[in-house]
């Protein structure tokens, strides 16, 4: 267990963040940017949209619920099974999120795109669709530093591991850190409290 925790801690400590121009950002600065961008999105009457496949879909659902309930931010996850199978059947699985962005996205929305590999075609296509309608985009990826998703967001978080479990747990921790930052600013956070 200590090895697992140490590996995860090392990975999170070494998380890299970069902006749309490819400039590296301090992780604290990137988390603050994400929290403030999420709050500004909500305050304009827009919403956060979370997408991911497999374990990342679970994270997307979890985060949409937590951001809505705990931070009072308008948020949803685009992973309804009937919608995914419908769109996959009619347009191909690589379009299941892009089509939903077309249906439900609005200029000024904030897309949070999660992909361990950073190479999932349906995630990449959704980011392109969101960009085409002037949405803010944040990406979370892993595996190799040259994955295409890593260069597509306004802010990009990258975890240098090829193990799904560490990348997924790391992405969840980063999303929770952003959420915690947001609710701390409202005076309701839990940082520093003992369980």
Is residue 149 one of the residues assigned to a domain?
yes
Q: List, for residues 125-174, the tens digit of each pLDDT value.
A: 999 999 999 999 999 999 999 999 999 999 999 999 999 999 999 999 99
pLDDT interval class at 58 (50, 70, 90): very high
pLDDT at residue 51, as a whole number: 98
pLDDT at residue 195, as a whole number: 39
Is residue 11 one of the residues assigned to a domain?
no
Low-confidence winner among 78-92, 97-111, 144-158, 178-192 (lowest mean pLDDT): 178-192
Is the pLDDT score of 181 beyond 50?
Answer: yes
Q: Domain tally for the chain?
A: 1
Supply the range of the domain harboring residue 120.
31-185
Please name the residue that has the structure tokens 């409202």: 186
Q: And the tokens for 40?
A: 């500004």
pLDDT at residue 93, as a whole number: 98
Q: CA-to-CA distance for 180 and 187, rounded, in angstroms? A: 10
Is residue 13 one of the residues assigned to a domain?
no
Is residue 3 one of the residues assigned to a domain?
no
Is residue 117 one of the residues assigned to a domain?
yes
CB atoms within 10 A of CB 140: 30
Please give the share of the chain, as a percent, with pLDDT higher than 90.
93
pLDDT at residue 186, as a whole number: 63
At 170, which CATH number? 3.40.50.10490
Is residue 103 one of the residues assigned to a domain?
yes
Is residue 72 one of the residues assigned to a domain?
yes
Is residue 78 one of the residues assigned to a domain?
yes
For 90, residues 6+ apart whose C-beta sits below 8 A from its C-beta are: none
Is the pLDDT score of 73 beyond 70?
Answer: yes
Burial class (CB in 10 A: 0-12, 13-18, 19+), 48: buried
CB atoms within 10 A of CB 148: 17
The pLDDT mean for the chain works out to 94
pTM: 0.94
């Amino acid at each position: 267990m200590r090895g697992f925790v140490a590996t995860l801690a090392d990975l999170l400590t070494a998380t890299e963040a970069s902006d749309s121009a490819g400039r590296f950002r301090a992780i604290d600065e990137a988390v603050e940017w994400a929290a403030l961008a999420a709050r500004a999105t909500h305050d304009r009457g827009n919403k956060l949209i979370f997408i991911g496949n497999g374990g990342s879909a679970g994270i997307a659902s979890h985060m949409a619920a937590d951001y809505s309930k705990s931070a009072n931010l308008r948020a949803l996850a685009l992973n309804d099974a009937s919608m995914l199978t419908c769109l996959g059947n009619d347009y191909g699985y690589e379009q299941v999120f892009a089509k939903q962005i077309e249906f439900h996205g609005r200029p000024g929305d904030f897309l949070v795109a999660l992909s361990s590999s950073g190479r999932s075609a349906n995630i990449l296509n959704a980011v392109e669709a969101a960009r085409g309608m002037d949405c803010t985009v944040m990406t979370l990826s892993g595996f190799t530093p040259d994955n295409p998703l890593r260069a597509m967001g306004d802010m990009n978080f990258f975890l240098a591991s090829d193990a799904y479990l560490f990348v997924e747990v790391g992405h969840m921790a980063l999303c929770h850190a952003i959420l915690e930052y947001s609710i701390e600013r409202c005076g309701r956070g839990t940082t520093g409290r003992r369980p």
